[in-house]
Amino acid sequence: MEQENRSIKAENHFREILIHLGEDPDREGLIDTPKRYIKFLTEFLKPKEFNFTTFTNEETDEMIVQTNIPFYSLCEHHIAPFFGTGCIAYIPDGKIVGLSKLARTLDLYANRLQNQERITTQIAERLMNELNPKGVAVSLKAQHLCMCMRGVKKHDTFTTTTKLLGVFKTNDAARNEFLTYIK
């Protein structure tokens, strides 16, 4: 009941924002918009935790890379969407992770009010903590609608962030191999 009351209150606040913007929240296309918007934010900003399933590495000691992982987030400064793709790599040292967990880790940290740099770091640190691998490398490439639609209004501009830990930070060959995957 309390959650329902909070949702109704949030919907009413969003309705007031629409009025502030000069919109008529009672017109056909906007009648249910406050309810839909609050439902969207509630669903999107509560990513589901998951079991970080690991397995014995079965002598796999070379880089494991997952590329072109789509992600969506909301800029914490403007609550405008940013979206793109991620590349996640690690070199096992005893454990490998179920492949879906790499993409789920990206979603876990992206589906929040965020900034791209923090997401990149959070993914890398989570994988280092969960797997204790020889190294982790994460690269995210995203388009930020806060740059496209407001401010400088530059479309087709992408931001790339990386976080290198372990051998990816200290070993030129590992770093260079990873960089070939993100080009």
Q: Is 144 a catalytic residue?
A: yes
Which entry of 13, 16, 43, 76 is annotated as an active-site residue? Answer: 76
Q: Which of 11, 75, 87, 122 is catalytic?
A: 75
Q: Quote the tokens at residue 151.
A: 């401010």
87 contacts 67 by C-beta, under 8 angstroms: yes
Strand duo 95-97 + 159-166: pairing: unpaired
Whether 75 is a known active-site residue: answer yes
Active site residue 130: no
Q: How far apart are CA 82 and CA 144, in angstroms?
A: 4
Q: Which of 11, 87, 122, 144 is catalytic?
A: 144
Q: Which of 23, 66, 143, 146 is catalytic?
A: 146
77 is catalytic: yes
For residues 168 and 137, the answer to whether their CB atoms sit within 8 Å is yes
Active-site option among 77, 114, 143, 177? 77
- Catalytic, out of 11, 87, 116, 122: 116
Q: Which entry of 78, 114, 148, 177 is annotated as an active-site residue?
A: 78
Cα atoms in the Cβ-side hemisphere of radius 13 Å centred on 174? 22
Name which of 163, 159, 182, 164 is nearest 75 in CA terms.
159
- Indicate which residues carry an active-site annotation: 75-78, 116, 144, 146
